[in-house]
Amino acid sequence: MGKRVALLYSLCCLIVWPATGAAATSRDILDLVYATVAGKPLGLDLHLPQDVRHPPLVVYIHGGAWAAGNKSEYPAFLVARGFAVASLDFRSTNDAPFPADVHDIKAGIRFLRAKAAEYGYRDERIAIAGASSGGHLAALVGVTNGDRTLEGTEGDYLGQSSGVQAIVSYFGASDLTTILAQSTPHGLSVRVPALKRLLGSPPDQVPELARQASPIFHVDHNDPPILLLHGDQDIQMPLNQLYELQWAYEQAGLHPEVLILHGVGHAAEPFFTGAPAERVVQFLRRTID
């Protein structure tokens, strides 16, 4: 990882999951290779709750400005509450630009469906969740169920579905065509280079690609239930990005769930404890359990 990317990630994107005791109540299967792309194995970690038969599955997408982070980041509180969690590595923008990351994540979901009986989780209804850039990717994957232009051909299980049935997006982007105009100076210092790596050029120079990479332009009435979480003091990711995705869902006749934490910034601990964590658990129980 380049020093600049590592610095940006450490300053604004690192999520340290609060201790929940999940380590004592989970069975962890690490480094499962779900696809090999350009000679590089792509892995996932599977965290299964102890003493829960056939738990529902949540696929987790880590943050890191699309360039950093890894699968060691995952929401342990969900495992402690009876959900299986699969945390994926995927090609970063240091390896390949969009849509490589989406292709990889969809390949991971296909792999997980193919292996459900082997590992014992349920696969008929899968949720996807992510934070920061991972929240953007989770939303984008979730609202492009069945979109052949973003499916990709990675992995060995092309006959499996990559569709998901619920989405949880923590402080993620939703419209790459407006995000720079909405950003604070701090946000711009992170986002301008990150978007150039993601898209290969600034968004205004590749408008159609920027639209393809923006969840709001894919929303229709068939999309899964979504829960959007954001802090109203987030100087890294504009709160307007949540409002745009909320609006797109409502225009499609859907009813997104929204939780805005007052006085909270980007990737802050309050999202993952107490009432906000319980809100996520209850949303997932209603949608995939």
pLDDT band at 1 (very low <50, low <70, confident <90, very high): very low
- Does the pLDDT value for residue 19 go beyond 80? no
Task: Please report the pLDDT score of residue 80 as a whole number.
Answer: 96
Q: Which of 255, 261, 194, 156 is nearest to 2 (CA)?
A: 194
Q: What is the pLDDT of residue 14?
A: 53
Per residue in 173-216, pLDDT (tens digit) is 999 999 999 999 999 999 999 999 999 999 999 999 999 999 99
pLDDT over 70 for what percent of the chain? Answer: 92
CA distances from 87 to 11, 71, 171, 196, 243 (A): 22, 5, 18, 26, 27
Interval 146-156 mean pLDDT: 96
**pTM across the whole model:** 0.94
Amino acid at 72: S
Residue 10 pLDDT level (bands cut at 50, 70, 90): very low
* Domain count along the chain: 1
The pLDDT score that the predictor gives to residue 193 is: 97
For residues 108 and 42, the answer to whether their CB atoms sit within 8 Å is: yes
Q: What is the token pair recorded at 281?
A: 């658990």
Q: Is the per-residue pLDDT at 250 higher than 70?
A: yes
Q: Say if CB 46 and CB 86 are below 8 A apart.
A: yes
* pLDDT score for 26: 86
Q: Per-residue pLDDT for 20 more than 50? A: no
Among 219, 65, 224, residue whose Cα is nearest residue 134: 65
DSSP state of 259: E
State the average pLDDT over residues 262-271. 96
CB hemisphere CA count around 275 (13 angstroms): 3
**For the domain that residue 183 is a member of, what is the CATH number?**
3.40.50.1820
The torsion angles phi and psi of 118, rounded to 5 degrees, stand at -65, -40
User: Could you tell me the residue range of the domain that residue 151 belongs to?
Assistant: 3-287
Residue type, 116: A
- The residue whose two tokens read 């129980």 is 285
**pLDDT tens across 36-71, in order?**
999 999 999 999 999 999 999 999 999 999 999 999
Mean of pLDDT values over 21-38 = 84
Interval 135-160 mean pLDDT: 97
